[in-house]
C-alpha cells in the first residue's frame, strides 16, 4: 500500500506542504479564543481527501469518488505516511504515529470473517498489541495513552491473555480512576477475578461499577454478579438482599406495572427472563 504512493507527484507534495503549514499554524497559535476552532490532524487529512474526491467527481470519475471505510482508511494511512517523508516536527510525527495505530485499530474492528475465525491467532490482532505496547514504551506520558492502554487491555483479552489484560486494566484505573471506560473496565476485571475464584476482589470490582459514570449499561449485570460473589463467599443474607434488590429494580423497569394478584416473573421483559430464573434458583438454594 505504501509502495503505491512512493513516487509522489509535485501537486501532491505541494498539497502535503500546505497541510503541514496549516498544521504548524494551528500548533503555534496561542489565542485561546480560536483554540476551540483549530483543525486537528485528522480534520486536515479528511479535508485533503475530500478535495481529491471532488476533483475526481468533477472529472467524471464518479465510480472512484465513492470510497468505503476500508478504502478511506487506506487513503488516510498513505497520506500520513507521505507526510512523514517530509520530516515534520517531532510533535507532528508523534501525532501521526498515534493516528496510524488508531486507523489500524478501526480497520481490525471492521475485520472480515477470516479475522473472526482466526480469533486470538489473528496476525492483525498480534500486530495491534505490538503497536500499543510500543506506543506506551516510547511515549509513556502522552494523554492519548488512556485510549491506547484501554485498547491494549481489550486486545489482550481477545487473545485469551486474561492475566495480562487484567494488569493493563488495573494500571489504567489506577492512573485514570474517573476514566470514561471505568464502568466497563471495572466490570471486566470483576469477571476476570470471579473466573479466577477471587470472589472478594470480584465483589469490589462489581461494586465499583455502580459508582462509575456511564454505568447504566453494566448496572444490572454488576448487581447480579455482586450477588453471586457474595453467595460464593457464603455471605448468604447479603447475597439474598442483593438479588431481591435487583428483582425490585427489574420489576420497576416495566412500562406497565404488573397486576400483583396475577403476577408471574415470566411476564417480565424478555431481556431478564433467564437472569430472573437464575435468581429464583439461587434464592431457593440460599433459603433452603
Distance from chain centroid for Cα 232: 31
Higher pLDDT pick, 150 / 22: 150
- What integer pLDDT is reported at residue 7 of this predicted model? 35
- What integer pLDDT is reported at residue 264 of this predicted model? 65
Is the model's pLDDT at 13 over the cut of 50? no
Is the model's pLDDT at 200 over the cut of 90? yes
- What integer pLDDT is reported at residue 266 of this predicted model? 64
Mean pLDDT lowest among 93-97, 145-149, 208-212: 93-97
Question: pLDDT tens digit string along 28-66?
Answer: 444 444 444 454 545 544 554 455 545 544 554 444 444
Is the model's pLDDT at 14 over the cut of 50? no
- What integer pLDDT is reported at residue 182 of this predicted model? 96
Is the model's pLDDT at 257 over the cut of 80? no
**Cβ contacts of 101 within 8 Å, gap of 6 or more:** 128, 131, 132, 135, 148
- What integer pLDDT is reported at residue 146 of this predicted model? 96
Which of 44-58, 77-91, 141-155, 272-286 shows the highest mean pLDDT? 141-155
Higher pLDDT pick, 1 / 208: 208
- pTM exceeding 0.85: no
Question: pLDDT tens digit string along 80-136?
Answer: 777 777 767 888 888 888 888 888 888 888 765 555 555 567 888 999 999 999 999
- What integer pLDDT is reported at residue 76 of this predicted model? 76
Amino acid at each position: 500500500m505504501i509502495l503505491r504512493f512512493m513516487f509522489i507527484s509535485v501537486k501532491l507534495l505541494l498539497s502535503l506542504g500546505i497541510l503541514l503549514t496549516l498544521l504548524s499554524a494551528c500548533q503555534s497559535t496561542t489565542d485561546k479564543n480560536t483554540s476551540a476552532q483549530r483543525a486537528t490532524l485528522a480534520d486536515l487529512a479528511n479535508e485533503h481527501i475530500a478535495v481529491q474526491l471532488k476533483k475526481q467527481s468533477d472529472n467524471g470519475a464518479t465510480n472512484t469518488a465513492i470510497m468505503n471505510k476500508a478504502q478511506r482508511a487506506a487513503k488516510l494511512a498513505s497520506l500520513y505516511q507521505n507526510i512523514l517523508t517530509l520530516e515534520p516536527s517531532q510533535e507532528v510525527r508523534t501525532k501521526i504515529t498515534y493516528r496510524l495505530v488508531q486507523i489500524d485499530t478501526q480497520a481490525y474492528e471492521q475485520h472480515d470473517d477470516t479475522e473472526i475465525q482466526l480469533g486470538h491467532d489473528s496476525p492483525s490482532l498480534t500486530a495491534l498489541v505490538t503497536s500499543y505496547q510500543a506506543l506506551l514504551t516510547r511515549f509513556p506520558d502522552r494523554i492519548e495513552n488512556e485510549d491506547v492502554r484501554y485498547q491494549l487491555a481489550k486486545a489482550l483479552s481477545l487473545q485469551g491473555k486474561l492475566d495480562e489484560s487484567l494488569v493493563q486494566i488495573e494500571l489504567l484505573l489506577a492512573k485514570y480512576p474517573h476514566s470514561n471506560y471505568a464502568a466497563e473496565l471495572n466490570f471486566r476485571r470483576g469477571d476476570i477475578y470471579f473466573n479466577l475464584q477471587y470472589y472478594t476482589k470480584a465483589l469490589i470490582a462489581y461494586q465499583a461499577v455502580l459508582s462509575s459514570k456511564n454505568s447504566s449499561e453494566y448496572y444490572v449485570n454488576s448487581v447480579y454478579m455482586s450477588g453471586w460473589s457474595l453467595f460464593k463467599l457464603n455471605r448468604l443474607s447479603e447475597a439474598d438482599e442483593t438479588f431481591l434488590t435487583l428483582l425490585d429494580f427489574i420489576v420497576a423497569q416495566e412500562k406497565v406495572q404488573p397486576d400483583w394478584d396475577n403476577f408471574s416473573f415470566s411476564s417480565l421483559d424478555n431481556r431478564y427472563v433467564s437472569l430472573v430464573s437464575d435468581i429464583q434458583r439461587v434464592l431457593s438454594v440460599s433459603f433452603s
